Structure 1
Amino acid sequence: MSAVAVRFAPSPTGRLHVGNARGALLNWLFARKAGGSFLLRLDDTDTGRSTEEFARGIEDDLRWLGLDWDRFAKQSDRFALYAEAAEKLRKSGRLYPAYETPEELELRRKIQLSQRRPPVYDRAALKLTDADRAKLEAEGRRPVWRFKLEHNRTAWDDLIHGHVEIDMASLSDPVLLRSDGYPLYTLSSVVDDGDLGITHVIRGEDHVTNTAAQIQLFEALGYAVPTFGHFSLLLDAEGGGLSKRLGSLSLADLRAQGIEPMALNSLLARLGSADPVEPKQSLQELVAGFDLTRFSRAPARLDPHELETLNARILHELPFATVRDRLPAGAGEDFWLAVRGNLATVGDAADWWTVVQGDITPVIEDEKVVQAAIETLPPEPWDATTWKGWSQAVAAKAGVKGRALFHPLRLALTGRDKGPEMAPLLPLIGRERALKRLRGV
């Protein structure tokens, strides 16, 4: 049996969104779990909308997620292969010209529906004679080229859906070539998957019906038919379609909002499966627990609040080395360990750096407590034990305890009524700055 080979095939007509990312991640995890290869293929045959900028953006988004690829291909480099495949289908009688205009096809669909018949292409083009075709072309018509399906029951064992059978008579013969000879997705994708040795095609369930026609196309072209797996589509938290909101869920936007790549990976790797969503610090941890057969056909719901919560949980465990370059200048490991448990994003650390090292407006809530704090403020050097001894001294001198003690001290020293524990913050603030703030300056 050949080694597992999967692909992720986005079109460079925009940046990746969470739906794309889920497909890329599931394919990548499947390949890595099986010790196989992951191909990045840019489906850039839509020359009117595909751009180099979007292509680079897709690669940047995948690198941000940590999803490396073993092979790379662009459909725009492979037109000769598609033309060769089309010619093979013509010679075998499986590709035929059809001359109907879009308006004519729409009229036929309406008639079929009015007669309570499925709106399937009626293969009228197969009844045309050479003279008929010559006359139509003399009128200026140029045909599209349709793949003639075999009207049997095409079946496969889906990794997620189980056994699937499609009555091929219920489907229209798909168009493989436009009237200008340009290859469409069904042809180019099958040719690439077959030529590049893709063993498993893992994609959204909106492709289930397409798969039946593509299986016949693989067979007609003499390619090995890959194994298919169709995962459920993403819905929003309320169960509605996510497609209208994908613009706000692009990877570029999530990155700008401070979402960590492993927060998104941790969520997308489990959404729609029987396994709980858990924060993971590395892709290797996700690989170890990945099992595509545990995914169900039920729609998966993406809750932005769950992503934000997961992001915070991941931040609270991130080591200093992974965020060093994203912290304010001068911020060290002691600062990161002190504040990370209170952050929603790494960017929030800048606010706390100002609290410990910058100018703030102290809040004097209880002058008696603050005065006692000034009088008992110990000399430096300070460490993580200083806060406990000092606050006990303040408590004894001011005759207060609990919130009446700690809240006024926190407000005076940080200007905030809540935040990270004061024990590690106090040495970062330092005696000179602490004394100034206690005096309300």
Structure 2
Amino acid sequence: MTPIVRFAPSPTGYIHIGNTRTALFNWLFALKNGGQMVLRFDDTDVERSKTEYVEAIAEDVEWLGIKPFRVEYQSKRFAEYAAAAERLKAAGLLYPCYETAEELDLKRKLRLARRLPPVYGRDALKLSDEDKAKLEAEGKRPHWRFLLPNFKDDPFAPVRTEVHWDDLVRGPETVDLASLSDPVLIREDGTYLYTFTSVVDDIDMNITHIIRGDDHVTNSGVQISIFEAMGAKSPQLGHHNLLTTATGEGLSKRTGALSVGSLRRAGYEPMAVASLAVLTGTSENVVAMPDMNALAAIFDPASTSKSSSKFDPADLDALNRALIHAMPFSDAKDRLAALGIQGDDAEAFWLAVRSNLTFVSDAAQWWAIVKNGPASDEPLADEDRDFVRAAFDVLPSEPWNHETWKSWTDAVKVQSGRKGKGLFMPLRIALTGRSSGPELADLLPLLGREGTLARRP
């Protein structure tokens, strides 16, 4: 059987790194096990779901290197949800309730005052057809609850009813249905809740494994019950820990915290983001993996910590640098061309500067230095000016190569008596306008003798 997983974002905002962790866990599981992934937009909230978010999420998923084999939209499946709801109603498992939010809140407080668990007491099951007709004549519209199978004969006398599953991430898990309220599956306005629609979709789309955040652990007991009520077997479940910001705050699509789009626009490589999103909070060392196949090879859901983990974007810089320092010119060529870096010396330039870059876009600064002259970051000290002028008098003749820098500095050492930092730093500043950067042995052939002499102070 081919494993089929799904990533089901709600297009009510831009996905953040926490959503990305879920998407990547599912994709890597599919990749490692020869499976497939469905991208399913939970867009039943018609008012808040927006096309711009759908497009942005699809772009983010593609940028990360995730390749779903099909894309689905819950907004196109209302007929399927209505049919499934009718089947549950006919079986007596979906019943109408008329309490307002205020009335429900009061009932919860009364139960707490009596030291009872604040679960719904199923009062609506006591309503007669006449009671319901009267309430609806008064303008009240029902919301619909699923009757949990947590009793023997009397629904008003729930008993401990354990739902067990072997979690892909957390190991053996148990939820007691008697500790839960019957979940609302359909709101008063007739819209469906995720708890219900996701089960209908998972059945229809033959989902075999569900990997999601551990804030859904309790939901799992309810959803397993709904699967069984609809005559289906629950997919195998896995619940990974959640990511927080570096300060421990939760992530939210509404605030845009650590959105994938913002990280992409900042210049981070997709594999830097993927590596940190997946490996943070696991037993693996957090290192930059070169591609998805390499990341899938070390991916193990069971190695994930049960406690939340902090995602610090500052950690991305080191991973990004590692990827760029190893990036061949063939991978960078088109992106460099977009920055105006092209020509016969583009490859030699890339190989010279890549080990000093955090982002590919940083190469543009060094291209300007090579082609247009030193940066203005650090001026040459007055006490070094005569030394540098004299050093330019002993520039080697062409042709120049990787050995030219050593030949030149050897001659300057003999001429001036300087050595070490006192010799090399003034020359670096004169040539580049910076006190650090790529190896000058690599840059000098790119400058050429004429271009180097033009930098004489």
TM-score, structure 1 normalization = 0.96
Answering whether residue 374 of structure 2 is matched by residue 360 of structure 1, we say yes
How many Å separate the matches in 2 of 1:414 and 1:347?
Answer: 18
How many Å separate the matches in 2 of 1:316 and 1:131?
Answer: 75
How many Å separate the matches in 2 of 1:32 and 1:329?
Answer: 37
| Residues 323-351 of structure 1, C-alpha deviations (whole Å, 9 max, x = no match) | 22222324411111111111111111111
Residues 68, 244 of structure 1: CA spacing in aligned structure 2 closer, same or farther, 3 A cutoff?
closer
Residues 175, 119 of structure 1: CA spacing in aligned structure 2 closer, same or farther, 3 A cutoff?
same
How many Å separate the matches in 1 of 2:440 and 2:10?
Answer: 51
How many Å separate the matches in 1 of 2:115 and 2:372?
Answer: 74
**Superposition map of 1:12-91 within 5 A:** 12-91=11-90
| Residues 64-116 of structure 1, C-alpha deviations (whole Å, 9 max, x = no match) | 10111112211111111111110110111100000101111111112222233
Find the partner of 2:308 among 290, 293, 299.
299
Shift, 1:243, TM fit: 4.1
Answering whether residue 241 of structure 2 is matched by residue 232 of structure 1, we say yes
Aligned to 1:429: 447
How many Å separate the matches in 1 of 2:412 and 2:106?
Answer: 87
Aligned to 1:107: 106
Amino acid at match of 2:168: L
SS in 2 for 1:249: coil
SS in 2 for 1:39: strand
Shift, 1:314, TM fit: 1.3
Contact persistence 1:144–1:175 (CA under 8 A): yes
Shift, 1:367, TM fit: 2.9
Residues 50, 238 of structure 1: CA spacing in aligned structure 2 closer, same or farther, 3 A cutoff?
closer
Aligned to 1:405: 423
Residues 95, 416 of structure 1: CA spacing in aligned structure 2 closer, same or farther, 3 A cutoff?
same
Amino acid at match of 2:126: K
How many Å separate the matches in 1 of 2:317 and 2:369?
Answer: 24
How many Å separate the matches in 2 of 1:165 and 1:281?
Answer: 38
Find the partner of 1:339 among 338, 353, 359.
353
Q: What is the aligned-residue identity percentage?
A: 53
**Superposition map of 1:249-260 within 5 A:** 249-260=258-269
Answering whether residue 261 of structure 2 is matched by residue 269 of structure 1, we say no
**Superposition map of 1:133-144 within 5 A:** 133-144=132-143
Amino acid at match of 1:217: I
How much is the aligned-residue C-alpha RMSD, in angstroms? 1.5
SS in 1 for 2:455: helix
Answering whether residue 8 of structure 2 is matched by residue 9 of structure 1, we say yes
Aligned to 2:156: none
Amino acid at match of 1:67: I
Instruction: Give the stretch that moved more between structures: 173-182 or 366-375.
Output: 366-375
How many Å separate the matches in 1 of 2:329 and 2:188?
Answer: 58
| Residues 169-194 of structure 1, C-alpha deviations (whole Å, 9 max, x = no match) | 11111111112322211111000011
Amino acid at match of 1:84: A
Instruction: Give the stretch that moved more between structures: 414-423 or 302-311.
Output: 302-311
| Residues 310-332 of structure 1, C-alpha deviations (whole Å, 9 max, x = no match) | 11111111111222222232441
Shift, 1:256, TM fit: 1.2
Shift, 1:248, TM fit: 3.5
How many Å separate the matches in 2 of 1:210 and 1:23?
Answer: 16
SS in 2 for 1:81: helix
Answering whether residue 431 of structure 2 is matched by residue 417 of structure 1, we say no
Shift, 1:246, TM fit: 5.8
How many Å separate the matches in 2 of 1:273 and 1:49?
Answer: 34
Contact persistence 2:373–2:455 (CA under 8 A): no
Shift, 1:359, TM fit: 3.4
For structure 1, which runs of at least 5 residues remain unmatched after alignment?
A: none
How many Å separate the matches in 2 of 1:44 and 1:192?
Answer: 13
How many pairs align?
438
TM-score, structure 2 normalization = 0.93
Answering whether residue 109 of structure 2 is matched by residue 93 of structure 1, we say no
